[in-house]
Amino acid sequence: MKKLISVLLILSASTLPVLSEEIIEKPSVKRFGIEAGLGLNVFLPFLQLRASYRLPYNDNRWDVNLSHSIGASFGPALYISSLGTKYYFAYNNPKPEIFTFQPFLSGAIAASYYFNSSNDKWPKGIGSIGPAIFLGIGTDLHIIDNLQLSGAVYTGYPALFRPELNLKVRF
């Protein structure tokens, strides 16, 4: 019994950090984010809002987001609501330094629709244009602790070329 207790004491003492060494704590990741921005659907401007959540898997490299944009068109306003993801393929430091870039790959599936209240050439009310899909590449630029500038270029349907620039706040 004494040998068992002494072995347990030795094992538990060996797992404690040495007092002269510093204990390094990993900084907490700011998981939630809100983005607001603007961009172009080929050459027609749009405004966008996006809410995102950084998943605690794979070294915090995955980001899942919900997005809604309203854009100008030749008829009534074009709306796109999407569910998307971003994968940060470079090292993802949870506490990045000021003015560091974090490049990402992104994809989204979406629904595109319009709301017509005044244009006589289109049916009145809400109408579906159809599904949408976007794939793109971009980067986040960390300005200060939880403020980022995000830029990306997407391709897909219904917009073959969709650049965007967003201001993101993480909390």
Q: CATH: 3.90.550.10, 3.90.1150.10, 2.102.10.10, 2.40.160.20. Which one for 31-170?
A: 2.40.160.20
What ranges do the domains of the chain cover?
A: 31-170
What does the alpha-carbon distance between residue 55 and residue 64 come to, in Å, rounded to a whole number?
Answer: 7
Please say if the pLDDT value at position 63 is more than 60. yes
Position with higher pLDDT, 128 vs 94: 128
Confidence of residue 165 (pLDDT cuts 50, 70, 90): very high
Backbone torsion region of residue 58, taken as left when φ is above 0, otherwise alpha when ψ lies between -120 and 50, otherwise beta: left
**Whole-structure pTM value:** 0.77
Q: Evaluate whether 1 touches 125 at the Cβ level (below 8 Å).
A: no
Please say if the pLDDT value at position 69 is more than 60. yes
Q: What is the pLDDT of residue 96?
A: 67
Q: Evaluate whether 138 touches 116 at the Cβ level (below 8 Å).
A: no
